[in-house]
Structures are given as structure tokens and as C-alpha cells.
Structure 1
Amino acid sequence: MKKVLMASVVAGIIMFFWGFVSWTVLSWHQDVSHRFSDEAAMEASIKAQAPEAGIYFLPFEEEGFKEGGASMFASIVPEYHLNMPVTLGVGLLCYIISAFLVVMALRMTHGLSYGQRLGYICLLGLIIGFVGHFPYWNWMNFSTPYVLVMIVDSVISWLLAGLVIAKWIEGSQADE
């Protein structure tokens, strides 16, 4: 179990640092996003029209849909207070738990080479990215470039984590 926990923690840390690079060093997430033309006016409108935190749809009901009209799917936090240490800690914990789950899935395999284990983990990363983001493209009209960046980001994250996981975890025959 020590190998499982070590692989999970190290892989989680690797994914955490990849997330930092992906979101702050590379510009690809910003390149597929848009800025409101007047952020102050938009913020005032959000506070006036969406006074409580939660998920909002425009139109809210299908009957309100007008061909050619605007639509929106948004997570609104009218009084947001950033607590970066907590946010970073929760993010790291999420990556470690995710890595642990992938390690447990890999342990169910048998007789895979290092390359096959790495490929298996990358495939899981593709599945995670696809299932996690494609429905937003289909149902909420998220842009194709945005969804593709998110899916590729997931695959890269799992490739990097997989380099460690595949080295330390050998499947059901692994000596713990």
C-alpha cells in the first residue's frame, strides 16, 4: 500500500504543477476565452440579476429560448472572496485523490508493460477529459476550441502523472 500512496501523492503533485503551468504560464486557456467588453457593467448586472450564488441558465426554461437569442450557462458568485491557500490545498487534494483512483484502476490490470500501463493511464485521461467536458459542448454550446483545450490538458496531465504511476505500479502482480 505504501507504493500506492506514494505514487498517488507524487502523481497528484505532478498534476498540480502541470495545472499551474497550463493555466498561468501557457496562454491556451485564455486564447480560447473572451473578455466582456465592460467588466464593471457586467459585474453590476450580475449582482443585480443574480443575487445569490449558484448556477444560472439563460434562458432558464426551454420555453424561453428564442432562435437567434443569447444563451448563457454560468456559475455566479456575487460576493466572491478568494482564499488562495484553501483553493490550492483543495486542488492538490483533488489531484491526489484522482491519482489514487487511477492507481487503483491500474492495479486491476495484469501483465502490462510500462508503455502499456502509460497508455492505459493516458486513455483514462482522455476519457476523463472527454466525459468531463464534451457534454458542455453538446448541451451548453461551449466552444469547440475551449473543449479541445480542456481535453488535451487532461491527457497531458495524466501523461505526466502516468510516467510516475506506470513506473511504480505494475498491476495486480505488483509487490507492495
Structure 2
Amino acid sequence: MRIAIAAIIGGIVMFIWGAVAHMALPIGEAGFRFPPQQEAVLDAIGQSATEPGVYMYPSMEMEKYGDEAAMKAFLEESRGKAYAFVVYQPDGNPATTSMAPNLGKQFVSVLLASAVLAWILSLGAWSFGRRVLVAGAAGLFSWLAISVPYWNWYMFPLTFTLGALAEQVIGWLLAGAAMAWWLGRKDAAGR
């Protein structure tokens, strides 16, 4: 029960931090650019993207990756060309109608992540400070495992990647402090 309560506390703190990072601070939108001529770009992408999904421009069919000649030709043809990584939804972004489903999924996501972290924090008879450090390390781990590969392979902007670092590490330090307080409170009561 104490782990579940710690998870709920951590999930609430992380959810609130996410709102602050995205709505009050520039952290959540670091690296975003807002393009002119959006309709023309969406129309052009719609001519190429056949269904909802992630598209890279330029790209090549996966089955051709084993073909050395095709790979060489693709690399030569692509050298110096613009690159785009696009998440395409032909039916639009549901959040333009209501953000409630997205907010619900986000809360469940951070609640589940907090449950895993609360369990990890409960494994040792650690001090408050050590638990907070472990939570910060978990945030750093998540950034290294997800955001850095996106920066490396899919060319996400460095400012976006560093914004994600701040969002994850600060957020998990805050959530970790709240969870460490709760878990430490229960540890002290058990002594």
C-alpha cells in the first residue's frame, strides 16, 4: 500500500511538473519551430503519406537496405538534401477537439512510471537524499535511452533534446523527492 501511495504522489507531482514545463516554461517546446505555409506542406505530405504513421524524407524501403547498390544510390542521391521526420495523422490531431483524452493518457503514463520508480525506491533502506538521487538517475536514464537516440538517429534538434533532459531530470527529482518523503515517513514510523 505504501508503494501505491508513493506512486500516486509521484504521478501527481510529475503530471503537474509536465504542465508547468509545457505551459509556463519554454522547456516543453524547446526546439519547436512554427512554419509558414502549413496548408501547402500538409497537402504535399498528404500526397506522399498513405496512412497514419511516421515518415522520413528522404527514405528507402526497408527491403532494399540489404542491396548494396540500392543503398549506395540512395545515399548518393540523398546527400545534401533536406530531411524531415514527420508524424502524419490524416484525420488531424484529436487534441484540437479536446485535450482530455491526451491528458488522461499522460497521467496514466506518469502514474505507471511512478509506480515502477516507487517500487525501486522502496527496495533499499535508503536515506531521503539517496532516494532523490536514484529518482534523478531514473530521469537521466530515460532521457539517455529515448531522447538521445532520437537526436542521434532521427536528428531531433539539440535544443529539443536538452529541453527533454531538463523536463525528465527535474521532473523525476521533484517526484522522487515527494516519493522519498512518503517512503521515508513510513520507514521512520516502522522503527
TM-score, structure 2 normalization: 0.82
Bigger Cα displacement from structure 2, 93-102 vs 38-47: 38-47
Describe the superposition over 1:4-25 as per-residue Cα deviations: whole angstroms up to 9, x where unpaired. Answer: 1111112111111111111111
The 1-side partners of 2:79 and 2:89 are apart by: 29
- Picking from 89, 92, 100, the partner of 1:77 is 89
Unaligned runs of 5+ in 2: 66-70
Partner of 1:103: 118
Q: Cα deviations across residues 39-65 of structure 1 (Å, max 9, x unaligned)? A: 111121222221310111112227334
Contact residue 36 and residue 42 of structure 1 kept, 8 A: no
CA deviation map 1:105-140 (0-9, x unaligned): 12222x321111111111111111221100011111
User: For the residues of structure 2 that align with 1:152 and 1:49, how far apart are their CA atoms?
Assistant: 35
Q: How many corresponding residue pairs?
A: 171
Corresponding letter in the other structure for 1:76? Y
Q: Does 1:92 align with 2:107?
A: yes
Find the counterpart in structure 2 of residue 152 from structure 1: 166
- Match runs of 1:24-35 below 5 Å: 24-35=23-34
Contact kept? 2:55, 2:87, Cα under 8 Å? yes
Three-state SS of the structure 1 residue aligned to 2:50 is: coil
Indicate the residue corresponding to 2:68 in structure 1.
Answer: none
Q: Is the 8 A contact 2:3 2:122 kept in 1?
A: no
Q: Look up the match of 1:141.
A: 155
Q: Does residue 5 in structure 1 map to residue 4 in structure 2?
A: yes
Residue 118 of structure 1 corresponds to 132
> How far apart are residue 31 of structure 1 and its match?
4.2
Code of the aligned partner of 1:25: A
Residue aligning to 1:130 = 144
SS at match of 2:86: strand
Structure 1: segments with no counterpart, 5+ residues: none
Work out which of the two has the higher radius of gyration on C-alpha atoms and give 1 or 2: 2
- Cα distance in structure 2, aligned partners of 1:132 and 1:144: 14
Aligned to 2:34, the other structure's residue is in SS state: coil
Aligned-residue CA RMSD (Å): 1.8
Fraction of identical pairs, as percent: 27
Displacement of 1:37 in angstroms is: 2.5
- Which of structure 1's runs of 4+ aligned residues deviate more than 6 A? none
CA distance in 2, matches of 1:93, 1:15: 11
